[in-house]
Structure 1
Amino acid sequence: MKITFYITLLILCPFLSFGQVATDSTKFANLRKEIESLKMNNETLLNSLEITGKTLNELVRDKKVSDETKWNTIKRNINGSTQLYKVLSDDIINLKSRLADEEYQGYIKSLSSIQEGPLGFSFQEVIIESATSIGIFSKQSKLDRFIDIAKNVMNSPLIASIPFVSNAVTASNSILDIAYGSSMNDKKADLDKLKRFESQLNKYLAYYTTLDKANILNQSSNGDRRVLLENLQLDLLNKLKKDAPRLSLTVPTRKESETMDAYFNRILTTFNHDFSSKRLENLENKYRNDRGEINYSELLQKEIDAKYYNNNIDQLVELSKKYTLYYENFFEVADNYQHRIIEAVDVAKSNGIIEGKKEKGKELTPAQVYDEIIKNLNEKKTERDNGIRNSINIPELKQKLELLEEFKLI
């Protein structure tokens, strides 16, 4: 297989750029990894079917299961559990890291920008142009002063530091307070003009407020999901700390400043399928006679730890099921968030605040700008979601937990 791979690569090289070769090499490496995983899963499944077949035959023939089959069941379950530990740990770490996505989230953040963003307008310019065209102050000097103050407010680091609320909402509220406050000292102030100014800003604030609500809910939801995943990770660690000593492995202590993810990865470099296989093989050898026969009856009587480990695998299965629920909920919450963001853009459309703009040398109408925003949101979300589904192999997790789900108490 390796020879065929390298010959194929040599044939393709003259027709590919360096970047293409690198990409294809990565694909080939991932394919080989997937084939190895499938091979191991196939061997595990065949072993499980063989043990199940023996169990059924013995029950039919002898009305009981032999000690050898009991031990092989225990061995199958323990080896399967160490594989499940690794897959579940990796999936938890992966999903935690995916709660925020720079590309997708960055685009949504640009929608709330006070400067010119995807919707084609600059809210800062909207405020200045509205104040000027409406003429909210009778004196030009007062209007100029107001505009200078408004610019300072919108560029203030304090405005940008307020969490969960777009700069536009905070800035406009401050600017309206300033405008109404100034009018109180102006005998010639035209309150109708101020109300027109406020009404104009409210068209934009309705959009920004709807966007803020979506982001606040998503931020809160992300925080809740992170806590759930971290708690699940702690539960998995506590379970592992109980199981590992049953196989004569002492779990190392966590290093100072070591992240939970790094700590888990370090533990699982030792506590894995190879380790459990060798440990169980060593146990078998303790009860093997000169003729190579294993005294399974004595093995089952004396190796209580292995039996205890097996009989409590259901806890690991339940943790895995809990993770699959969190995983599915992730996409449900993401869909709801996307719906709320699009809802905000729809508010902007209905309020007529989306402006035409030039993009890639092409003039876009407000309707085309709207379509482009919806298209970008959907594409970036799909790319993010597909990236998560491709990196987290849920079918593999479900297969491994299903193999253990039918374990037998020995």
Structure 2
Amino acid sequence: MLKHLPTEMKHGNGFETTCNHSLPLVQPGKKSWTSKWMKVLPAPFIFLLTFQAAQAQDPELKAITSPVIKTQDTTIRKLVEEMQRITDNDKTNSNAIQALLQGKEIDNMSKYDLIKNNIINASETYYLLNKKIIDLKSRTTTNNLDVFITSLNNPESKALGFSLSDRIVELVEKIILKNKSDKGEKNSKIVESTKSIINSPIFQSFTSLTPPLAIANSVMNFLHSVSVNNKQINQKSLQDFEKELNKYVVYYTALNDANQKFEYGLNFNKDQLSLLQDNLFDHLSFTATSLKFPAPQKGNKPLSQTMNEYFYEFKKEKVVEYFGQLETKYTKNKRIDYESLLRENPNLKEVNNQLEDLVLQTKRFENLYNEYFTLLDSYYTKVNNSLKIAQDNGLADKSIIDNKQAEFRNLKTDAVQEIQASINIRELYSNTEKIKYRYRIF
């Protein structure tokens, strides 16, 4: 490379220059920009710049290939790569932070929407559940079905082609008095006393359960007591009378058993509905006070009346209005601050997280509702069995029994349809399904 240098630079230890022109004066207060950068730039970088400048001035130097600088030995390359890495990391971190902030806002908004929709739907569920509890509590059967059962169990009724009262008198005259009721004062008194027992006001006050059985038992006791002083009434006559009377007793006992078990089942069902309504009242009180609504007060009124009156205040429209006011309060720059709203109103989360109990109460009602129809099915079976006993014992013709069973089946079907239409359990199902109670908010 030295052979390309000027002649003056080939000899001697330094550079010697000759110039016929005077050099300009250098002002001491100013330094070349080059001198400043010389202090801060690395030596390899200065060498590279000097070499490129020489190439630009000497065309022959352009032919010389630039030296290859290995990456591991190059400070500049390392600095550039490090700066690029830092820039890329900053960009990635910035995007991640923005995503987290946006995600947090969306998360809070989603939580709030879930809570809001759950509580609004719950307010309607409270109303529907209470209404249906009251309706089911008031049910026994339907009027037509009650009339049918009462007629079967009435000693004076001839629903099956006979009257128990008349049959008992006939049996007394035929078996006890040997068809001699009109002969002798004692006989006539026995018949009159028997009629008096049957028509006793005590038995007349029994409307549905035990009149036939009570009458039969009283008549038997009366005849046994009379037989002590009346030699005409012997043990065989009493046994024959009791045998015939028992055919009716067995029928009425089966019918009475059906009535009693149905009545017991209904009372138990009502007790459970009352307990459920108490639990509903407590849950409603918690939700109402948490939302700053006035709490319901039991007072001296029946609970059903208290609940009905309270739903004039605590209803779906009022709850929707409550959330509207809440959103207005936390709106800033036309955006709802969901984070502050949830943080400053922790009661909303608590109400939402307690809604599972309300859903369980609706399921308890569904069970009691289904149990009612199970009771009705069982009752239907038992009444039909009692009618079959009446047929088997020869108390009524098969055609009459068949007609009564068909009538009972139709009345039972009508009763089921009437209760189902009145309570409309599907309405409760649909509303309860809107409550996403499995999503708890923390």
Partner deviation per Cα, 1:240-277 (whole Å, 9 max, x = no partner): 01110111111242354x33222111111211111111
How far apart are the structure 2 equivalents of 1:186 and 1:266?
68
- After superposition, residues 349-360 of structure 1 pair within 5 angstroms as 349-354=391-396
1:371 to partner: Cα distance: 1.6
Residue 142 of structure 1 and its aligned partner are, at CA, apart by 2.0
Corresponding residue to 2:346 among 287, 295, 304: 304
Matched pairs, number: 339
Corresponding residue to 2:268 among 224, 238, 241: 224
* 1:165 shift after superposition: 4.1
| Match of residue 20 from structure 1 | none
Q: Which of 434, 438, 441 is 1:403 aligned to?
A: 434
TM-score (norm 2): 0.73
RMSD: 2.1
Moved more, 390-399 or 274-283: 390-399
Deviation at 1:376, TM superposition (A): 1.5
2:269 equivalent to 1:259: no
2:367 is aligned with what amino acid? L
Distance 2:356 2:377 in 1: 32
1:9-408 to structure 2, matched below 5 A, reads 66-136=107-177, 140-161=184-205, 165-256=209-300, 258-289=301-332, 291-354=333-396, 366-408=397-439
Q: Deviations over 1:208-229 (max 9, x none)?
A: 0111111111111111011000
Q: Is the 8 A contact 1:165 1:212 kept in 2?
A: yes
CA contact (8 A) 2:198 2:215 kept: yes
* Distance in 2 of aligned mates of 1:95 and 1:298: 44
Highest CA radius of gyration, 1 or 2? Answer: 2
**What is the identity, as a one-letter code, of the residue corresponding to 2:350?**
Y
Alpha-carbon distance in structure 1 between the residues aligned to 2:280 and 2:227: 63
Partner of 2:53: none
TM superposition shift of 1:133? 2.0
Q: Is the 8 A contact 2:124 2:316 kept in 1?
A: yes
TM-aligned CA deviation for residue 117 of structure 1: 2.9
Q: In terms of mean alpha carbon deviation, does 130-139 or 215-224 score higher?
A: 130-139
* Counterpart amino acid of residue 113 in structure 1: N
Superposition deviation, residue 189 in structure 1? 3.0
What is the DSSP-based 3-state SS (H/G/I as helix, E as strand, rest coil) of the residue aligned with 1:119? coil
**Kept after mapping to 2: 8 A contact 1:154/1:167:** no
Letter in 2 for 1:80: N
Q: 1:132-154, CA deviations, whole angstroms, 9 ceiling, x for partnerless residues?
A: 12243676422211111111111
Please report how far the alpha carbon of residue 65 of structure 1 lies from its aligned counterpart in structure 2 after TM superposition: 5.6
Listed as ranges, the gaps of 5+ residues in structure 1 are 1-57, 355-365
Q: TM-score, normalised by structure 1?
A: 0.78
Letter in 1 for 2:125: L
Amino acid at match of 2:190: F
Q: CA deviation at 1:405?
A: 4.3
CA shift for structure 1 position 102: 2.3
Q: Deviations over 1:318-375 (max 9, x none)?
A: 1011111111111111100111111111100100101xxxxxxxxxxx2221122111
Q: Taking structure 1 as reference, are residues 302 and 292 closer, same or farther at Cα in structure 2, changes over 3 Å only?
A: same
CA shift for structure 1 position 62: 5.2
Change (3 A) 1:395 1:106: same
2:9 is matched with: none
Aligned partners of 1:136 and 1:194 also within 8 Å: no
CA distance in 1, matches of 2:291, 2:274: 26
Whether the 8 Å contact between 1:112 and 1:211 is mirrored in structure 2 is yes
Cα separation, 1, equivalents of 2:317 and 2:229: 82
Deviation of 1:85 after TM superposition, in Å, equals 0.7
Residues 117 and 269 (structure 1 numbering): CA distance in 2 closer, same or farther, change over 3 Å?
farther
Tell me the distance in 2 between the aligned counterparts of 1:405 and 1:306.
14
Q: What is the identity, as a one-letter code, of the residue corresponding to 1:295?
A: D
- 1:143–1:70 distance in 2 versus 1, CA, 3 Å: same
Moved over 6 A (4+): none
- When residues 188 and 148 of structure 1 are mapped into structure 2, their CA distance, relative to the original with a 3 A threshold, is closer
Q: For 2:309 and 2:134, how far apart are their aligned partners in 1?
A: 13
Q: Which amino acid aligns with 1:243?
A: T
Contact 1:136 1:197 in 2 (8 A): no
Distance, in Å, in 1 between the alignment partners of 2:208 and 2:151 is: 14
SS of 1:264's equivalent in the other structure is: helix
Q: CA deviation at 1:312?
A: 0.8
Identity across aligned pairs (percent)?
27
Determine helix, strand or coil for the equivalent of 1:404: coil
- Answer whether contact 2:105 2:338 (CA < 8 A) is retained: no
